[in-house]
Chains A and B, each alone.
Chain A
Amino acid sequence: MTEVRELIAAVNNADSADGLLEAVEDLAEARSPKAIPVLVEVLGYNNPGAAVAAVDGLIAIGEPVVPYLLDNLDDYNYGARAWATRVFAGVGDPRALDLLLRAAAGDFSQSVRRAAAKGLGSINWSKLEPEQAILARERVLETLLLASEDGEWVVRYAAVVGLQNLAIALFSTQPELAAQTTTRLQELIDGDPEVVIRTRARYALSNEK
């Protein structure tokens, strides 16, 4: 445990961007819940390299991160919120579901909307009661269908990825909803102005079946 304390001290004492990056990478590798507050703080620094390492570390720690991050989210820092959304998306804990639904549909920043849309497809449904999960998947589908009409290509791209993963869960539980994902993906293949979106939707459909 002393070791984790030393790693935390190294992050706090980093005096250059590169030094910070290395210290965060080391701390992330320890995968210790004690590192959570420091790693969350790093999300708020304007240092994309260190933030990537912190996100990876928080995702690796997994579920213990979720309640802390939900309580300590910096609403006024778009960058930090985008990274936090990536953490929630990576962990897939349903406790973050409401936040992801709101973010995917209405966040000001497209990088937040895109991270949320991808995360909505990878929720760990087994953490919910079956009845709750059925309702939650309906809401997720609704939000992803909306996100697939976003004005930013990258959000539509993430929505396609989300729909592809959601469809896999829906085929065994709510096949009538799964059909809606197929229909929407086909619409994108036929009508999206971006060739990258048409291609990604085609790839999603071929992997869905």
Chain B
Amino acid sequence: MNDEALAEELTVEQAIANLKQREDLGLRYYAAWWLGRFRVREPEAIATLLMALEDEKDRAPDGGYPLRRNAARALGKLGDKRAVKPLIRCLQFPDFYVREAAAQALEMLDDKSCVPTLMELLEGGVAAAGFVPGKPHLVQPYEAAIEALGTLGATEAMPLIEPFIEHPVEKVSYAAARAMYQLSGEAKYGEILIRALLGDDLQLRRSALMDLGAVGYIPAGEAIAETLAENSMKLIALKGLLETELESNPQENLSDASIKLIKLMDSLL
């Protein structure tokens, strides 16, 4: 609430000016987020965010680049293809969180030219994909990279992605199942996500809900309705399923599968 109230006090001009100045790092960081949040697509906003992507001044105690992270996230939301090349360069950047933000942004920009560089992040396979000693993250942002490859329809990456289903970090494993389902349409990958709905970890169940809704795996309807999570999230997931079903069965009379999904949604209101 406070963030939102504060956010509305900025104007586009002010946000761009805040991002351009070099004295107050907090203002710059916030302005980058703001431009993404409010979808400011003006050329000057894009140009300033692209400059922020090269920023050297704002450094976190761990050596990371907070402003670059926020700038990358914002550029993903703005849908301007000029950001594709600079974001691809970010995938090779030493700061893990910049690479992660860049992979997520590239997923949103719907441009396949980043696929080879995303695939490079998976090099070495599961054997190389351990934790960085002393850090809470893996060597690469595997989850974000795999999800991006799935969304971008990178079928050439399937042999690289499939082994990650066996990755010991469940989020990575489910990202791989989700991407494999998107790329192959094979039910066995959808079933892996259904099994995730039965797991003990609420966060993972939530993320499986979002995955199933995003890929529209129709047979998951009942498992979604029954998993232990908020009804709001189940409804969003079922909405995704119903949309997929309506797209493949657009005729006047509703299919049995559609009616079944509608009844599940009704029961969760």
Measuring CB to CB, which residues of chain A are less than 8 angstroms from any residue of chain B? 18, 21, 48-49, 52, 89, 110-111, 114-115, 117-118, 153-154, 157-158, 161, 195-196, 199-200, 202-203
Task: Collect the chain B residues with CB atoms within 8 Å of residue A200's CB.
Answer: 262, 265
Distance in angstroms between the alpha carbons of A203 and B269 in the assembled complex: 16
Check A154 against B232 for contact (C-beta < 8 Å).
yes
User: Are B235 and A202 in touch, CB under 8 angstroms?
Assistant: no
Q: How many Å lie between the Cα of A114 and that of B243 in the bound state? A: 20
Tell me the minimal C-beta distance from B247 to chain A in angstroms.
8
- The closest CB in chain B to the CB of A161 belongs to B266
Partner-contacting stretch, out of B122-130, B143-151, B223-231: B223-231
**Known contacts A118-B269, A203-B254, A203-B259; A52/B228 CB under 8 A:** yes
Interface of A is mostly: helix
Decide if B269 touches A199 in the complex (CB within 8 Å): no
* CB <8 Å contact, B239 and A196: yes
Number of A-B contacts (CB under 8 A): 48
Shortest Cβ distance from residue B27 to the other chain A in the assembled complex, whole angstroms: 30
Select one of B200, B228, B235, B262 contacting A154, CB under 8 A. B235
Cross-chain contact B262 with A199 (CB below 8 angstroms) = yes
**B242 contacts across to A, CB distance below 8 A:** 196, 199
Measured CB to CB, the nearest residue on chain A to B232 is: A111
B189 CB, nearest partner CB in chain A, Å:
25
Q: Give the distance in Å from the alpha carbon of A136 to the alpha carbon of B258 in the complex.
A: 33
Q: Which of B228, B231, B254 contacts A202 (CB 8 A)?
A: B254
Q: Which residues of the partner chain B approach A153 to less than 8 Å between Cβ atoms?
A: 239
Q: Which 3 pairs, one residue from A and one from B, show the smallest C-beta to C-beta distance?
A: A49-B228, A118-B269, A158-B269
Known contacts: A196-B242, A199-B246, A199-B254. The answer to whether A157 contacts B228 by CB under 8 A is no
Q: Which of B200-255 contact A (CB under 8 A)?
A: 200, 202, 228-232, 235-236, 239, 242-243, 246, 254
| Chain B residues within an 8 Å CB radius of A114 | 269
Judge whether B258 and A199 touch: CB under 8 Å.
Answer: yes
Decide if A161 touches B269 in the complex (CB within 8 Å). Answer: yes
Q: Is the CB of B269 within 8 A of A115?
A: yes
* Interface, chain B (partner A; CB < 8 A): 200, 202, 228-232, 235-236, 239, 242-243, 246, 254, 258-259, 262, 265-266, 269
CA distance A200 to B231 in the complex (A): 18
Closest CB-CB distance, B221 to chain A, in whole Å?
Answer: 14
Distance between Cα atoms of A114 and B265 in the complex (Å):
12
Least CB distance from B236 to A in Å reads 8
**B37 to nearest A CB, angstroms?**
18
Q: Which of B231, B246, B259 contacts A111 (CB 8 A)?
A: B231
Residues of A within 8 A of B254 (CB): 199, 202-203
Closest to A79 in B: B230
- Cβ B246 vs Cβ A48 within 8 A: no
Determine which residue in A21, A52, A202 has the highest number of CB atoms from chain B within 10 A of its CB, and name it.
A52
Within 8 Å by CB of B262, from A49, A158, A203, lies A203
A195 partner residues in chain B, CB cutoff 8 A: 243, 246
**B266 contacts across to A, CB distance below 8 A:** 118, 161
- Cβ of B236: which chain A residues have Cβ within 8 Å of it? 154
Distance in angstroms from A153 CB to nearest chain B CB is: 7
By beta carbon, the residue of chain A nearest B236 is: A154
> How far apart are the CA atoms of A48 and B226 in the complex, in Å?
12
Pairs across A and B, CB under 8 Å, 13 listed: A18-B200, A48-B202, A89-B269, A111-B230, A111-B231, A111-B232, A157-B265, A157-B269, A161-B269, A196-B242, A199-B258, A200-B265, A203-B259
How many Å lie between the Cα of A202 and that of B246 in the bound state? 13
In the complex, besides A48-B230, A161-B269, 13 extra interface pairs with C-beta distance below 8 angstroms are A21-B228, A48-B228, A110-B232, A111-B231, A111-B232, A114-B269, A118-B266, A153-B239, A154-B239, A157-B235, A199-B242, A199-B258, A200-B265
Which residues of the partner chain A approach B202 to less than 8 Å between Cβ atoms? 48
